[in-house]
Amino acid sequence: MILGSELVKFKNIPSANFLTLISVITLRLRLCKVRDFSMEPNINHNDFLAYRPIKRYNCESLIGNVVIANHPIKANTKIVKRVKYEAEEGVWLLGDNKNMSEDSRKYGLVPKENICGVVERIARNTKYLSTIFKT
């Protein structure tokens, strides 16, 4: 019975969000929920992000990508920002919503080892996703 009710819920998930769920499962992406307004209008408060973890030794260019990173000042806090440019010392991260974003304009370059992953997909928050992930 539980399986049947779960299938009904999955049938009601918008297709873009369903593809995000499939990507998380098949591509081993990680999922996180946005808790601020710094990336609006592109990424909204309460959206879910599927991101690809990157290794510290990975030297791909991140310019223009949205990344998940450990906050350079606040312990145990992750941030979602866009990479504006890269330097030997780190990356310059900016929020898309400059009026609501605490970013590299405040704390400077972020060490590259703080980058946790690159956002691959955005799933708009729905009651179905919130129920599935109990957020």
Per-residue pLDDT tens for 51-105? 889 876 455 688 999 999 999 999 999 999 999 999 989 999 999 999 999 999 9
Is there a contact between 62 and 118 (Cβ–Cβ < 8 Å)?
Answer: yes
Per-residue pLDDT tens for 13-46?
A: 455 555 565 655 666 788 888 889 999 999 999 8
Q: What is the pTM of this model?
A: 0.74
Q: What is the DSSP string of 78-109?
A: EEEEEEEEEETTEEEEE-SSTTT--SHHHH-P
- Bridge partners of 70, per DSSP, are 78
**Domains parsed from the chain with CATH numbers:** 2-133 (2.10.109.10)
Q: In DSSP terms, which residues pair with 51 in a beta bridge?
A: 30, 119
